[in-house]
Amino acid sequence: MPTSTFDIFRFQPDQGPDSYRQAFTLEHGTDLTLLDAILRLQDEQDGTLAVRYSCRSAICGSCACKADGKTVLACMSQVEDLKAQNGGQPVRVDPIGNFRPLKDLIVDMDPFWDKFKSVKPYLIPDGPAPEKERIVSKEAMQKIYNESKCILCAACYSECNSLAADPEFVGPAALAWGFRFAGDERDGQRHNRAKLYSGEHGVWDCTRCMYCNERCPKGVDPRDAIEKLGGIAFSEGVSWADAGARHAKAFLISMRTGGKLNETLLVPFTNPIKSQLDLPFALRMLSKGKAPSPIPHKVKNLGEVKKLMKNVKETI
């Protein structure tokens, strides 16, 4: 029978203000999920070990935690696999990141639910409900299929680098739900949603670290959803208000005028006022040759690029 050691983050606020780590050892059969291991430790060794869980079947989204620093659903992770990955070391178990621990592996999820609610994660149709159901084609549902798979486990928030730097960032799961409804043909709020999600701490705050796509246990690819919301902001004409959107617009202008990025246009176009105030920095960059010529470099066969820019239609 395999024996495994677990190095678990402990925090018992009624016992003391500091967190600590505790090692547990367990004999078990070859098939044991990390959640089952934690529940056995709770049952057999320390009844105070706190963990949030419900379905044990990777659908309720309650048991996300970190195993050896990597965010997982405890119920989806086999202990023997974790040991194979870490070279047989004790399995290090921590609560998900970017949230305040309440007790052991349980974190305060209130900020997550507040952000989730802020994107209006429900259908808001135009006009009164029809007498019969609204029929949606398979093709139309396919567009929002990935985002519909989200189980709100918050694994994508745990290692989100934007959230670590800006606690107010709305975050990957909430924005994925935003796209799930903005992209739903039955919804009547596409334009308003584009505006709602394009503000400060929204779509344009994603730093594209790709941790959300990497960690999501259900294949939602939240970063791709955020990207599609950017596309909706452009198709709905709300692409001037935010510096992040203007940043993207500068790439389109560069593409049209030369095919390569015009870095000298990018800075003032993204942030016209700030770039003026930042003159000393600009001069330092200039002195190091890091301010290229404003005259756009033109790629060969630019005509092809211009035609593509004119012809290619967006289908979000």
Partner 1 sequence: MARQFAYYPGCVAEFSSKELNKTTKALAPMLDIELLPMPAATCCGAGDIAEAKPNLYLTLNVRILSQAEEMGVDIMTICNVCTLNLRRANKLVKDDPRLLESVNAELVKAGARPYEGTREVTHLLWYLATEEGLSLLEKQGPKGLNGLRVAPYYGCQLLRPSSVMGFEDPDQPQSLERLIVALGGEVADYEAKSRCCGFPILLAREAVALKESHVALSQARDAGADCMVTPCPLCHLAMDAYQRKAEAANGTEYNMPVLHLPQLIGLALGIDSKTLDWKRHMVPVDKVLEVVGS
Choose which of 7, 80, 166, 185 interacts with partner 1 (CB under 8 A). 166
Look up residue 144 and give its two tokens: 């929002």
Look up residue 38 and give its two tokens: 């934690």
Query: Between helices 243-257 and 302-311, what is the axis angle to 10°?
Result: 130
105, 64 Cβ separation under 8 angstroms: no
Q: Which of residues 124-153 bind partner 1 (CB under 8 A)?
A: none
Choose which of 124, 164, 265, 282 interacts with partner 1 (CB under 8 A). 164
State the first-to-last Cα distance of the chain, in angstroms, to the nearest integer. Answer: 53
Q: Tell me: does residue 30 bind partner 1 (CB under 8 A).
A: no
Choose which of 41, 150, 206, 220 interacts with partner 1 (CB under 8 A). 206
252, 246 Cβ separation under 8 angstroms: no
Shortest approach of partner 1 to residue 158 CB, angstroms?
13
57, 12 Cβ separation under 8 angstroms: no
| Window contacting partner 1 (CB under 8 A); options: 4-12, 40-48, 190-198, 255-263 | 255-263
| Window contacting partner 1 (CB under 8 A); options: 48-56, 123-131, 143-151, 200-208 | 200-208
Site mask for partner 1 (CB under 8 A), range 221-240, x = bound: x-x--xxx-xx--x----x-
Nearer to partner 1, 109 or 225 (CB): 225
Q: Tell me: does residue 69 bind partner 1 (CB under 8 A).
A: yes
DSSP codes, 173-200: HHHHHHHHHHT-TT-S-HHHHHHHHTST
- Distance CA(206)–CA(194), nearest Å, equals 15
Nearer to partner 1, 111 or 231 (CB): 231
Radius of gyration of the chain (CA): 24
Choose which of 123, 252, 283, 295 interacts with partner 1 (CB under 8 A). 252
Q: Tell me: does residue 204 bind partner 1 (CB under 8 A).
A: yes
Nearer to partner 1, 118 or 213 (CB): 213
Q: Which of residues 274-313 bind partner 1 (CB under 8 A)?
A: 274, 281, 284-285, 288-292, 297, 299-301, 303-305, 307-309, 311-313
In single-letter form, the type of residue at position 249 comes to K
| Window contacting partner 1 (CB under 8 A); options: 57-65, 156-164, 171-179, 183-191 | 156-164
Q: How many residues bind partner 1 (CB under 8 A)?
A: 72
| Window contacting partner 1 (CB under 8 A); options: 115-123, 150-158, 175-183, 260-268 | 260-268
∠ at Cα 278 (274, 294), nearest 5°? 90
Longest dimension (CA), the chain: 72
- Residue 239: CB atoms within 10 A of its CB come to 20
Nearer to partner 1, 119 or 206 (CB): 206
Look up residue 261 and give its two tokens: 């990025």
CA 40 and chain centroid, separation: 32
Q: Which of residues 92-121 bind partner 1 (CB under 8 A)?
A: none
